[in-house]
Structure 1
Amino acid sequence: MYLVSFAATLGGVVFAAVLGRLLGRGQRATAGEYNGQALSLIGGVLLSSFILLTGFQVAGSWSALSTARARTYDEARALTDVYWAAGGLAAPDRDRLRGLLKNYTRQVERREFPALAAGHTSPQAWQALDAVRGALDTAPATTPARQSAKSAAQSNLATVYQTRTDRAAQVKAGMPLITWIALLVAGAFLIAFPAVLGLTASVRNLVALCFVGAAVAFAVCLTAQLNHAFQPPYAVRPTAYLFAEARFRQIDG
């Protein structure tokens, strides 16, 4: 699966090794003497590699997080539209459908999001939504006004199903494993670079290196926490469904 990436990485290692052997036979290279420009170049390459990988991870994870949050508001709006359209049905069908919509919204808020944090959707929420669809499909529409209301409700209910399907796909979604390996390797080399050159002999330099290690570890931890849209501490919250419940009460009023 990762054969092409592994081969490309190995090719870069071989190229660097061959180039280093061919060009590293001078007197300065043999004596192990380095000037400031050479050290700055190597350090800059390591730092740029780590920043590139971290930025890629954060951008991808943040985009997925923002999309997941936006989809909850799309679903909440669709639920309120179904709730509103149900007002055009006969009174018994309207009351039954609205009661089932309230139950589904509570299921998502109280059961679904704890289940999402554990890596799966809630079966109870799916059953509650299926109950809404069953009640809507069997509701009679004997007049043109009721037919129009039922059609509008069914259209918006399809949007609810679509957003739920998208959320189910996002539960286990994340950045590829190979990018995490590359990020960890780049971070480790970035921390080890000063120590390899012997720049940590004094306590002052060692403290500075510890700060670098803390910064790298924090960056890796942050990207890991952003990697799953429904897991704390940056998880998507059920705020949109609280908004939907408030709209239900306003419509009832």
Structure 2
Amino acid sequence: MVAYALAIAAAVGVVALTAIMFRKLGKGTEDGDPGGPSSAHAGAMLSAMFLLAFAIAIIVPWTTADAARQNTHTEARAAIEAYWAAAGLPESDREQVRSGLHAYVKSVVDDEWPLMAQGETDPTGGERLDALRSQVASVESGSDKLDDAKGEVLDHVRDLDTARAQRVADAATTPPEGLLWLTVLSGVVVVLFPFLAGARPRGATIVPLMAMAAMLGFGIYLCWDIMRVFDGPLAVGPEAFQVALQEFARISAGV
């Protein structure tokens, strides 16, 4: 924060020092016109700054949400593959592993998803996967076929754990806080710029200014509303895990 303040102060100082030097040297001409070159240049740059900050504030959450949605499908698919692979385990172990996978996925849908809207996750999910991995590893080896089945289940559980770690990271991911403040500040300055430049719009000329202010306000609210991956208009839902639960039931009915 101190570095930001120093950078702003240095930039303002450069402008002030340059203005004083040009005045003392008698260079340039007086520019008090709201539509003059100084105002036109500053207005264009402020608009560009706002558009840049606004674009980043929209694109970053959008791409993060797309990646998180893809990762939920990867995690759910790993759970389904592990459920299938468990068919090669002895019957008692198979049922325990499948029960553990079902309990994990159901807890993600029912317990963990509401927490992720606040950027939090349920640590018991990781504990369930650790217990599941230990359970599969403890299955006694009796043949090459059984060893292959154990290895396949462990591989899928490992993939499941990796995808879960990414989902935990996605839940806590938000754009840099300074980016939203920059978007707000640049938006306010863009709206107030005609007044700051010395113009006093009235009558019909103030209508487009008010319309622009309304649209900027809505856009900035949208930036704030989509900051979290699992909350807001772009929220990633638990559909992939709900499909996994349906697949579990179908697989159990057939195997």
User: What is the TM-score with the length of structure 2 in the denominator?
Assistant: 0.88
Residue identity matched to 1:10: A
Answer yes or no: is 1:18 the counterpart of 2:17: yes
Measured in 2, the distance between the counterparts of 1:164 and 1:136 equals 18
Answer yes or no: is 1:6 the counterpart of 2:37: no
Which residue pairs with 1:247 in the alignment?
Answer: 247
Answer yes or no: is 1:125 the counterpart of 2:122: no
Which residue pairs with 1:57 in the alignment?
Answer: 57
1:45 CA displacement? 1.2
Rate the CA distance shift 1:180–1:193 in 2: closer, same or farther, 3 A. Answer: same
Which residue pairs with 2:209 in the alignment?
Answer: 209
Measured in 1, the distance between the counterparts of 2:97 and 2:179 equals 47
Measured in 1, the distance between the counterparts of 2:6 and 2:36 equals 33
Per-residue deviation, residues 203-252 of structure 1 (Å, max 9, x unmatched): 32222222111121122112212221112232111011022123223323
Which runs of 5 or more structure 1 residues have no equivalent in the other structure?
Answer: none
Per-residue deviation, residues 157-199 of structure 1 (Å, max 9, x unmatched): 1111112222222322212222222222211110110222454
Measured in 2, the distance between the counterparts of 1:169 and 1:35 equals 49
Instruction: Report the count of equivalent residues.
Output: 250
Residue identity matched to 1:230: F
Measured in 2, the distance between the counterparts of 1:141 and 1:35 equals 83
Measured in 2, the distance between the counterparts of 1:208 and 1:20 equals 33
Contact 2:34–2:197 at 8 Å: present in 1 too?
no
Work out the percentage of aligned pairs sharing the same amino acid.
26
1:52 CA displacement? 0.6
Please provide the CA RMSD for this pair.
2.1
1:61 CA displacement? 1.8
Of the structure 1 ranges 200-209 and 84-93, higher mean CA displacement relative to structure 2 is found in 200-209
Rate the CA distance shift 1:197–1:4 in 2: closer, same or farther, 3 A. Answer: closer
Measured in 2, the distance between the counterparts of 1:197 and 1:35 equals 8
Which residue pairs with 2:196 in the alignment?
Answer: 196
Answer yes or no: is 1:226 the counterpart of 2:226: yes
1:83 CA displacement? 0.6
User: What is the TM-score with the length of structure 1 in the denominator?
Assistant: 0.89
Which residue pairs with 1:87 in the alignment?
Answer: 87
Per-residue deviation, residues 23-76 of structure 1 (Å, max 9, x unmatched): 4675542xx234465544332211110001111222222222222111111101
Measured in 2, the distance between the counterparts of 1:7 and 1:152 equals 56
Contact 2:34–2:199 at 8 Å: present in 1 too?
no
Contact 2:34–2:194 at 8 Å: present in 1 too?
no
Measured in 2, the distance between the counterparts of 1:90 and 1:137 equals 13
Residue identity matched to 1:15: V
Residue identity matched to 2:220: V
Measured in 1, the distance between the counterparts of 2:39 and 2:7 equals 26
Which runs of 5 or more structure 2 residues have no equivalent in the other structure?
Answer: none
Residue identity matched to 2:248: F
Answer yes or no: is 1:115 the counterpart of 2:115: yes
Measured in 2, the distance between the counterparts of 1:122 and 1:187 equals 38
Measured in 1, the distance between the counterparts of 2:122 and 2:153 equals 23
1:80 CA displacement? 1.0
Of the structure 1 ranges 171-180 and 36-45, higher mean CA displacement relative to structure 2 is found in 36-45
